[in-house]
């Protein structure tokens, strides 16, 4: 079922009555917070005893449009409305507003591009911090400094002219740096380079307590590793120093079809083991000529001027002969390959339909049986006409960030059932039924040693999260107590009870 808005009462009450203090935020909007009435006060309403909002370089918004937008995301399933939206003018705006929120027990969450699918960046009756206004990108020697609100497409816009690229990109590059680093960020290059979080050299964050801190593997490492794939529970990431590698000029792109999931995964294991491709993923699609599903490997070989040898790359693979599709394209066009599909789905409206997405990392040993079983029972109606099935392997030793939880076997598979629900449908095609199916699938996968990749829409309890983080739970809980002692950050993930531990 969709999450219901969290009650404000979950934050311990008892705010002090304050004398009238008026704050002036950019745009000359007089703003205060009434700690007794638990509401923001603006303009001529500032009569009662209110606490001033500190002066800001950016803007604090209370308009219906701003609050409604912050109460929505790519999932269009959860709608928790905040009281205010901050568009920070600089990092100090986040510092002072988080201190203000702590003082008045107001929950807060950073929002990147809002492409979570289950209210992860939402706050019922609190403050949403729209990171998109902090989007500066500066290329240095072989790294790039990116503010957290920058999109990966902008990062590439700065690095590619220097002949450099982040080693791992997500399939969709209009996501924010802060948004993907807070979940992990995996893609077809991950078998070589790990997740995006494994390619971060340094972070600048604002902790839940409102402290601005630089951290790295050697500088406050507990904070660094609590923020990477930390789902926004301890601090807001404001700047990341990201590793870069030489960018290729061209990409040879292969689509190879297989009749069964087992046949696909057998070849995926082979190409992952010898690392012959620069990039490799896999998908399933409905068989246009009969019942069931077809599977395909999507692989890429990067090159500058000399094209790769097709025979050497695919000659020993077991795809269905004659089904191979081979094309060449520029590196950026390859990274931006979803753009035409997104434009199409925007035109049909399906981009704006509910997206109850399901993602899990499965142990290699359980993958074939589990995937075959799931796919045997899955129809187009279960995922919607624009639904997507992803299936590809990763190397667990390349995934080093402690909070990105994956099975312990050397090879793990990402299996994703990315559903699109019929809008306003309470039936089998609706989001409610799909959420229930997601939960059931999650329980089956977890019983086999799988871990949710937490970007989707699976109703979770605190107990589920405790089990998810397993041996890392004490680390995360301690970091939360230390860096967000007021427990105000990112309640939409549903990991900790809001408020002081």
The binding site for ligand FAD (CB under 6 A) comprises 73-74, 109-116, 120-121, 131, 148, 170-172, 175-176, 178-180, 182-187, 231-232, 236-237, 455, 490, 492-493
Environment class of 171 (CB within 10 Å of its CB; exposed 0-12, middle 13-18, buried 19+): middle
Least Cβ distance, residue 231 to ligand FAD (angstroms): 6
Q: CA torsion, points 280, 282, 287, 289, in degrees to nearest 10?
A: 10
- Shortest Cβ 187–ligand FAD spacing (Å): 5
Minimum CB separation of residue 117 from ligand FAD in Å reads 7
Rounded-to-5 percentages of helix, strand, coil across the chain: 30, 25, 45
Q: How far is the CB of 410 from ligand FAD (least distance, A)?
A: 20
391, 282 contact by CB (below 8 A): yes
Distance set, CA 228 to CA 153, 223, 233, 282, 334 (Å): 20, 9, 10, 26, 27
Taking the least distance from each CB to ligand FAD, the nearer of 186 and 294 is 186
Pairing verdict, β 293-303 and 325-330: unpaired
Q: Which is nearer to ligand FAD, 105 or 151 (CB)?
A: 151
Residues 6+ apart with CB under 8 A from 304: 248, 249, 250
Phi, psi of 310 (to 5 degrees): -60, -45
Under DSSP, is residue 482 helix (H, G, I), strand (E, B) or coil? helix
Q: Which H/E stretch holds residue 140?
A: none
Closest distance to ligand FAD from the beta carbon of 501 (Å): 19
Minimum CB–partner distance for residue 90 and ligand FAD (Å): 14
**Angle at alpha carbon of residue 337, lines to 312 and 199, rounded to 5°:** 80
Q: How far is the CB of 322 from ligand FAD (least distance, A)?
A: 29
Q: Provide, rounded to whole angstroms, the least separation between the CB of residue 419 and ligand FAD.
A: 13
- Using the minimum distance from each CB to ligand FAD, give the nearer residue, 31 or 196: 196
Please report how close the Cβ of residue 358 comes to ligand FAD at its closest, in angstroms.
12
Q: What SS3 class is residue 135?
A: coil
Q: Under a CB-based contact definition with an 8 Å cutoff, are residues 72 and 114 in contact?
A: yes
Least distance to ligand FAD, CB of residue 76, Å = 11
Residue with tokens 């871990």: 451
Q: Which is nearer to ligand FAD, 103 or 135 (CB)?
A: 135
The string of DSSP letters for 292-345 reads SEEEEEEEEEEESSS---HHHHHTT--SPTT--EEEEEEHHHHHTTTHHHHHHH
- In DSSP terms, 283 is beta-bridged to 296, 390
Three-state SS at 42: strand
For residue 238, give the nearest of 249, 223, 250, 253 by alpha carbon.
223
For residue 136, the tally of other CB atoms under 10 A from its CB is 12
| Least distance between ligand FAD and beta carbon 153 (Å) | 12
């Amino acid at each position: 079922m969709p999450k219901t808005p969290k009650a404000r009462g979950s934050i311990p009450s008892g705010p002090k009555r304050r004398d009238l203090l008026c704050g002036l935020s950019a745009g000359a909007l007089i703003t205060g917070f009434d700690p007794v009435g638990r509401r923001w006060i603006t303009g001529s309403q500032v009569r009662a005893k209110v606490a001033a909002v500190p002066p800001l370089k950016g803007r604090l918004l209370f308009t219906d449009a701003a609050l409604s937008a912050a109460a929505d995301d790519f999932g269009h399933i959860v709608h928790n409305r905040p009281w205010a939206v901050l568009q920070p003018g600089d990092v100090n705006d986040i510092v002072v507003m988080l201190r203000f929120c702590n003082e008045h027990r107001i929950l807060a969450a950073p929002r990147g591009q809002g492409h979570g699918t289950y209210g992860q960046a939402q706050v019922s009756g609190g403050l949403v911090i729209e990171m998109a206004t902090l989007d500066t990108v500066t290329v240095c020697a072989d790294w790039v400094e990116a503010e957290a609100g920058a999109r990966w497409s902008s990062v590439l816009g700065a690095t590619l002219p220097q002949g450099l690229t982040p080693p791992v990109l997500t399939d969709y590059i209009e996501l924010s740096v802060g948004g993907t680093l807070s979940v992990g960020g995996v893609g077809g290059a991950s078998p070589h380079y790990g997740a995006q979080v494994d390619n971060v050299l340094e972070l600048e964050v604002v902790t839940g307590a409102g402290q601005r801190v630089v951290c790295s593997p050697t500088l406050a490492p507990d904070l660094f590793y609590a923020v990477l794939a930390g789902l926004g529970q301890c601090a807001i990431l404001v700047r990341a120093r990201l590793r870069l590698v030489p960018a290729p000029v061209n990409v040879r792109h292969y689509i190879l079809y297989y009749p069964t999931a087992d046949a696909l995964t057998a070849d995926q294991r082979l190409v992952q083991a010898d690392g012959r491709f620069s990039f490799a993923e896999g998908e399933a699609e409905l068989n246009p000529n009969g019942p069931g599903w077809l599977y395909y490997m999507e692989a890429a070989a990067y090159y500058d001027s000399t094209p790769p040898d097709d025979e050497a790359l695919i000659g020993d693979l077991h795809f269905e002969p004659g089904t191979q599709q081979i094309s060449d394209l520029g590196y950026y066009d390859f990274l931006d390959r979803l753009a035409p599909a997104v434009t199409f789905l925007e035109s049909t409206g399906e981009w704006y339909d509910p997206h109850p997405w399901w993602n899990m990392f499965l142990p290699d040993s359980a993958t074939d049986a589990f995937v075959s079983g799931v796919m045997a029972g899955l129809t187009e109606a279960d995922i919607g006409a624009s639904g997507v099935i992803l299936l590809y392997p990763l190397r667990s030793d390349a995934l080093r960030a402690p909070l990105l939880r994956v099975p312990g076997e050397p090879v793990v598979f990402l299996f994703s059932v990315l559903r699109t629900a019929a809008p306003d449908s309470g039936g089998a095609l609706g989001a409610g039924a799909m959420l229930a199916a997601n939960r059931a699938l999650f329980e089956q996968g977890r019983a086999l040693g799988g871990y949710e990749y937490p970007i989707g829409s699976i109703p979770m309890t605190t107990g589920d999260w405790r089990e998810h983080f397993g041996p890392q739970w004490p680390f995360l809980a301690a970091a939360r107590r230390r860096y967000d002692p007021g427990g105000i950050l990112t309640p939409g993930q549903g990991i900790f009870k809001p408020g002081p531990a």
